[in-house]
Amino acid sequence: MNHVVAPRPRTVSDEEILIAAHRTIARLGPARVTLADVASEARLAPATLVQRFGSKRGLLLALVELGVNGVDACFADMRAAHQSPLAALVAAATEMTRQVKSPQELANGLAFLQLDVSDPDFHRLAVKNSRRLHAGYKALLDEAVEAGELAPCDTAHLARTVGAVSGGSLIAWAIMRDGPAEHWVREDLMMLLAPYRPRAEAPAVPSPRAPAKRPRRQAARRAPERRD
């Protein structure tokens, strides 16, 4: 009689491994990181990572795909946490700043850009990520216009600009290192959005009125002189 050997249960999920990979890459960058580095962070044997992802490249692709698949959930969380669609937009656009603890971590994350533009598989995921970000920003901008928080505008173009400003501002912060990254990016976003904010209505100015006519004072009558 043949006995079927049940596979050993996984004590660490793929997602937990990828989160450990994210922490390791933030420290070392995608070029320097090794499967042994990630395995040590996840407290697993390197052979386990090979079994799960095949190679370092497979692990990096899985990590990027995890991030892409989380974009829609991130926008949903930001919208649920803010009554104002404009506030949700700014929170979503500054989300990356809350994940970056230092300029060096940002540099290590930006090292993925080389893979995004040179490797077809990474590029495919980068395009997918960009489209989801654009759709999320546009949806919130459309809501902000409908709610009267923004004047009617080309929300598709503005959404693209929001993405460009938030990313570029974060890089500028890493160079200048002036204050928290989130404040830096938030200020630039508010500057971008300011011209689209409806101006507060000025208080009504009362129409000029003709000066009130002063009542004519009647000449005081002299009391008649008493005659003895």
pLDDT of residue 11: 81
State what percent of residues in the chain have pLDDT above 90.
75
pLDDT tens, 43-102? 999 999 999 999 999 999 999 999 999 999 999 999 999 999 999 999 999 998 888 889
Which stretches of the chain are DSSP H helices?
14-28, 35-42, 46-53, 56-69, 71-81, 85-93, 103-110, 112-118, 120-146, 155-176, 181-193
Among 164, 28, 26, 20, smallest CA distance to 102 is for 26
Return mean pLDDT, the chain. 86
* Mean pLDDT for the stretch of residues 187-199: 94
More confident residue, 5 or 94: 94
